Structure 1
Amino acid sequence: MPARNGRWVLWATLLLTCISLPGNGRWKVLGQDPALFLTTTTKEGYDMRRVDITPLEQRKLTFDTHALVQDLETHGFNKAQAETIVSLLTTLSNVSLDTIYREMVTQAQQEITVQQLMAHLDSIRKDMVILEKSEFANLRAENEKMKIELEQVKQQPINETSRIRADNKLDINLERSRVTDMDQEKKLMEATTEFIKKDTKTNSVISETSNKIDSEIASLKTLMESNKLETIRYLAASVFTCLAIALGFYRLWKKQ
């Protein structure tokens, strides 16, 4: 009996040193080290509506307060002390129940929260689909732009190669034409030199031939002059002979 009475005294002393401070789901003990007691906090969910749960006045305690007061009176407490202890126990129980109700959810609140989460997920899913379509369109446009730029970049070396090839071909053709002109000029110079040599040789041959012709003409003139003199002499001799014969025949005729 004394041990039981001492246990109730210990409980009463502990309850008298406790002052519950309800609010935001917190409670603490005065006169003791706060680190030795549990401190709970409530957390609000994302986009969560507050759901009315069982009001404080409708909650039922799990023990009989009147029987507890009588039990305390039978163990040496007066009525005021017993009622104070029971009041503290009731307050502590209500605070504990309020903390439990704040930390836990009812089935209705759970269903509403699940519906809210599903609606939020549907909204996120729609936003993701819209974002995906927008991103896909942007990626497609960016891809097309990159393709065009890549084609332009690929076309630039081709154009540059074609231009360099055309320039090289033009240079080669010009060099070939220059070499051809030089070769033709060289051939022309060689032909001119050969022609000059042949012309010189021909002129020398012509000069020699002219000299020969001149000498032959001179010799022929000399021969003709000599033949002319001979012919004149022969004709003169023939004429004189004919005259002599004619004179002879004339004398003979006269004599007759």
Structure 2
Amino acid sequence: MTAYAAACKRVLRLGPELAGTRPISELAKSNGKRVYLVDTLALVRKLEAQGVESRQAQAITESMMEVLNDSMENVSGSYVSKSEMQKSEMFQENNLSMFKTEVKSSQDHHFSMLQHEMEKIKNDIEKMRSELRYEIDKVTAGQRLDLNLERGRIRDELNNQNQETTNLTTKLDREIHTLRAQLEAAKYDVIKYCIGTLASVSAVGLAVIRILM
């Protein structure tokens, strides 16, 4: 274990040199994980050149590869690649464009429905106005007819009353004329009676005078 720890310290000291031996390359996914490789053979040989046994060098190399793969996997899980970011941006832009289209379509639909409702309300108002105007004209015509009938009835009553008044006036005039004629006749009879009475009195007076003389 002491030799293994010393070898690990040597690997840490040689880290920059070992990292520069061969660039890290990304391979295809394997079992859901990304695998990153380095030139392990060169790494083992460098370890062996530093006095590390071949078996320990291979074990250290395998351990470093596992640590490296895990580290790179964590890093790749924490960060998003540029292509994925662009895809995400394109996806978000597409969603935003679709959302704007849907909002505009919804606004146009609601505006069209609102216009339709306004037209319907206007038509209903015009219909109500026409019906109200018809009812008013109907009531007005009925009132005019009733008024004309009432006027005709009153006119007929006035004519009847005038006719009755004329008849009464004529009757009264006839009766007055009759009374006048009767009065004239009675007056003539009274005058005639008075004359007769005076003549009788005069004759009696003359007879009395003759007797006395």
- The verdict on how the C-alpha distance between 1:95 and 1:196 changes in structure 2, with shifts beyond 3 A counting, is farther
1:166 aligns with 2:144: no
Corresponding residue number in structure 2 for 1:105? 80
1:124 alignment partner AA: F
The one-character-per-residue Cα deviations of 1:183-234 (angstroms, maximum 9, x if unpaired) are 222121111111112233345556788x79xx9xxxxxxxxxxxxxxxxxxx
- Shift, 1:182, TM fit: 1.7
Give the gaps of 5 or more residues in structure 1.
Answer: 6-51, 67-78, 216-256
Structure with greater helix percent: 2
Secondary structure in 1 matching 2:136: helix
- The verdict on how the C-alpha distance between 1:106 and 1:203 changes in structure 2, with shifts beyond 3 A counting, is same
- Shift, 1:174, TM fit: 2.0
Corresponding residue number in structure 2 for 1:134? 109
1:123 aligns with 2:101: no
- The verdict on how the C-alpha distance between 1:104 and 1:59 changes in structure 2, with shifts beyond 3 A counting, is farther
1:137 alignment partner AA: S
Corresponding residue number in structure 2 for 1:58? 36
Corresponding residue number in structure 2 for 1:147? 122
Name the % identity. Answer: 16
Question: Using the alignment, how far apart are the partners of 1:59 and 1:128 within structure 2?
Answer: 50
The one-character-per-residue Cα deviations of 1:87-114 (angstroms, maximum 9, x if unpaired) are 5x86576456435433431111111111
Corresponding residue number in structure 2 for 1:193? 168
Secondary structure in 1 matching 2:35: helix
Secondary structure in 1 matching 2:133: helix
The one-character-per-residue Cα deviations of 1:132-157 (angstroms, maximum 9, x if unpaired) are 33332222222111110122223333
Map 1:1-256 to 2 at 5 A: 55=29, 56-58=34-36, 87=63, 94-95=69-70, 97-203=72-178
> Relative contact order (alpha carbons < 8 A, sep ≥ 6): 1 or 2 greater?
1
- Shift, 1:160, TM fit: 2.4
- Shift, 1:57, TM fit: 1.4
Give the gaps of 5 or more residues in structure 2.
Answer: 6-25, 45-55, 190-213
Q: CA RMSD in A?
A: 4.5
TM-score, normalised by the number of residues in structure 2? 0.51
Question: Using the alignment, how far apart are the partners of 1:145 and 1:175 within structure 2?
Answer: 44
Q: Which has the larger radius of gyration?
A: 1
**Number of aligned residues:** 154
Question: Using the alignment, how far apart are the partners of 1:147 and 1:53 within structure 2?
Answer: 71
Question: Using the alignment, how far apart are the partners of 1:157 and 1:193 within structure 2?
Answer: 52
- The verdict on how the C-alpha distance between 1:96 and 1:197 changes in structure 2, with shifts beyond 3 A counting, is farther
1:111 alignment partner AA: Q
TM-score, normalised by the number of residues in structure 1? 0.44
- Shift, 1:54, TM fit: 7.5
2:158 alignment partner AA: D
